[in-house]
Amino acid sequence: AQKVTQAQTEISVVEKEDVTLDCVYETRDTTYYLFWYKQPPSGELVFLIRRNSFDEQNEISGRYSWNFQKSTSSFNFTITASQVVDSAVYFCALSPFSGGYNKLIFGAGTRLAVHP
């Protein structure tokens, strides 16, 4: 089965706190891509990162960082020093090779609320 699980439905933090959004995936493919997208209240999905299955290096981009661990099939996303503008729904998604990389399988999303 191809599946993405985001167990945290909603997270609420106070500004400047660090927060980690969990993502666990299932796939039989050895080649696949993983993504994180941000959906602010306006509705538009904003691409944050793509990671292929052969690259387990962690990535940092400003206040954002991602931890990819194939051993646990996880691709977690950490926001450091959160800000109110980070409030949004965050989706983790899987694109398996067997789907021709065309099929994006989304998790249920995690709604992050950052309070001043």
Partner 1 sequence: GAVVSQHPSRVICKSGTSVKIECRSLDFQATTMFWYRQFPKQSLMLMATSNEGSKATYEQGVEKDKFLINHASLTLSTLTVTSAHPEDSSFYICSANDLAGVMETQYFGPGTRLLVL
**Can you tell me which residue has the tokens 């959160």?**
82
Determine the 3-state secondary structure of 70 from DSSP. helix
Query: Is residue 43 a contact partner of residue 28, using CB atoms and an 8 Å limit?
Result: no
By CB under 8 A, tell whether 52 contacts partner 1.
yes
Q: Per CB under 8 A, which of residues 83..112 are in contact with partner 1?
A: 91, 95, 101-104, 106-109
Binding-site member from 41, 43, 62, 116 for partner 1 (CB under 8 A): 43
Measured between alpha carbons, how far is residue 45 from residues 16, 18, 68, 69, 113 in Å? 24, 22, 21, 25, 17
In whole angstroms, how close is the CB of 44 to partner 1 at the nearest point?
Answer: 4
| Residue 42 or 61 with smaller CB distance to partner 1 | 42
